[in-house]
């Protein structure tokens, strides 16, 4: 990707933390229908690799399916084996990032400081994830943008439809959206409604 272009048509990574394989196709299908093309299933979800495999098989041609909370090289290998293409980390572990990139995975690397951001980029991460974004706020994003190269930056952690525009205005290209989008056990209808709220917030800002 060039400069600040993300690999996603809609740069909102939908995080389905806690989803079960029996539910994943319905919720991912709803998100894809609503225009989402980046889906993350965290590794602390029940049988996460099975969920990734199901989603990738059914929707991999229309969306980038991946896993979050990638903590080890084994996690990255399991993601690849399941057919996933996006590895999202909560922290900066250069060895894990480098391994995932070498295996041709897209990596959105979690960081909390400028030093960690540069370590992640040096290891090959194609995208950065400020986490937890709600703690640092848009002011942190503006400060980071003064020193970071042209790399896609996502705000993740506590982002809501109301706070999303502030992060975008400060220099983020997108966001990862979790509990405000999906909570374990919720209905597909709630997922759809929340997805529409976030999408509209993004589109209104981009207009």
Catalytic residue numbers read 40, 129
Helix, strand, coil in percent for the chain, rounding step 5: 45, 15, 40
Question: What dihedral do alpha carbons 6, 132, 39, 4 form, nearest 10°?
Answer: 0
Please give the angle made by the CA atoms of 76, 71 and 121, to the nearest 5 degrees: 80
> Got the DSSP string for 108-130?
EEEESSHHHHHHHHHTT-SEEEE
> Greatest CA span in the chain, whole angstroms?
45
Q: Where are the alpha helices (DSSP H) in 60-170?
A: 73-81, 94-102, 114-122, 133-145, 164-170
Quick one: DSSP state of residue 90? S
């Amino acid at each position: 990707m060039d400069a600040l272009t993300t690999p996603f048509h809609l740069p909102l990574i939908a995080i389905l933390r806690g989803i079960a394989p029996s539910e994943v196709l319905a919720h991912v299908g709803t998100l894809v229908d609503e225009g989402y093309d980046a889906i993350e299933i965290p590794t602390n979800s029940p049988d996460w690799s099975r969920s990734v495999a199901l989603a990738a098989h059914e929707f991999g041609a229309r969306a980038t399916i991946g896993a979050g909370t990638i903590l080890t090289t084994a996690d990255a290998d399991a993601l690849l084996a399941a057919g996933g293409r996006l590895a999202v980390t909560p922290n900066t572990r250069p060895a894990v990032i480098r391994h995932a990139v070498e295996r041709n995975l897209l990596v959105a690397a979690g960081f909390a400081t400028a030093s960690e951001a540069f370590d992640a980029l040096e290891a090959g991460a194609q995208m950065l994830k400020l986490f937890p974004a709600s703690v640092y706020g848009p002011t942190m994003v503006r400060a980071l943008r003064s020193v970071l190269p042209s790399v896609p930056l996502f705000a993740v952690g506590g982002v809501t439809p109301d706070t999303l525009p502030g992060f975008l205005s400060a220099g983020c290209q997108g966001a990862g959206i979790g509990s405000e989008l999906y909570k374990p056990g919720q209905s597909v209808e709630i997922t759809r409604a929340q997805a529409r709220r976030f999408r509209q917030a993004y589109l209104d800002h981009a207009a």
